[in-house]
Structure 1
Amino acid sequence: MTSNAVSIKQIMTTEVLTVHPGDTMEQVHLVFRSSDIHHLPVVDEEGRVVGIISKSDYYSISNAFPLFRPDLRAAANDRLFKSLLVEDVMTRQVATLTPEDSISIAAGYFKENLFHAIPIVDKGGMLVGILTTFDLLNYFFNQEVFLPT
């Protein structure tokens, strides 16, 4: 099966952890610490995608106090995470695709834009999944062409 014939819905992740714009960065901190994900879609009260936070965004904030002693750095990060809102940190202009789009379109987005996650939305803009570069690599790696004989 060619990548033009494979739709995103066949390989996307459908159980997606999310945060809301009004959540504090402490919530993001807890999610990233407790799960093996690198991107958090930000959704409004209806479930529409309004932004995304990457682990890189998170690290750029959590490493803001490198000159502090480790014990003081942790306390400073804690105060910062409790005071900053997700909407202050999130990327607002987010590329999205639909489940029906082909994975070749997604691969082009990844290549051209150098990001690693695309929220997948229905026609109403509601989040229904996420596609990552890992999902694409996993798909291609498991094709017969790549499997050892």
Structure 2
Amino acid sequence: MYEFVQYTSADVMTRQPVTVTPETPLADAQALFEKRGFNGMPVVNEQGALVGFVTKMDVLRAFTLRPEYMVPPYSEIMRDPVERVMTREPVCVPPDYPLTRVLQRLVEMGVKSMPVTDNGSLVGVIAREDLLDALRRATE
């Protein structure tokens, strides 16, 4: 278990993560969630800078009732861009952040994954599965 306290974000993060743009339709983001088994993805602009993070919960949030309709029109909403529901300025961790602190942040915030950035540039994503795998490896 002592090995776990020496790990950093960079040791377990997914490098070169799959990303979407702010203009990506919600339907395309949802298709990636299903195909890849993701819960969240970084949202990057044309220059590749992180501008947000979108999760499955964000997609669900798009279906909350609005005054303009009684029943949410699925096809219409799924054409909406990711930027409508994404979290802007997501909480990020640096690659040298201790994994023990990442674990604490994920639990306290109640999120399943978060971006890893280095000087403002996206370098990876760290998810709860990464932490569980690191815990298991550290005890073997």
Identity of aligned residues (%): 24
Normalising by structure 1, we get a TM-score of 0.79
Q: Which has the larger radius of gyration?
A: 1
Maintained 8 Å contact 2:3/2:138 = no
Question: Which of residues 133, 138, 143 in structure 1 aligns to 2:133?
Answer: 138
Partners of 1:63 and 1:88 in 2: CA distance? 13
Structure 1 moving runs of 4+ over 6 Å: none
Give the number of equivalent residue pairs. Answer: 135
Match of 1:9 in 2: 10
Match of 2:29 in 1: 28
Match of 1:119 in 2: 115
- Match for 2:126: what amino acid? L
Question: Which of residues 84, 101, 106 in structure 2 aligns to 1:105?
Answer: 101
Matched, 1:77 2:74: yes
Maintained 8 Å contact 2:4/2:138 = no
Partners of 2:101 and 2:34 in 1: CA distance? 32
Q: CA RMSD in A?
A: 2.1
Give unmatched runs, 5+ long, in structure 2: none
Give unmatched runs, 5+ long, in structure 1: none
Structure with bigger strand share is 2
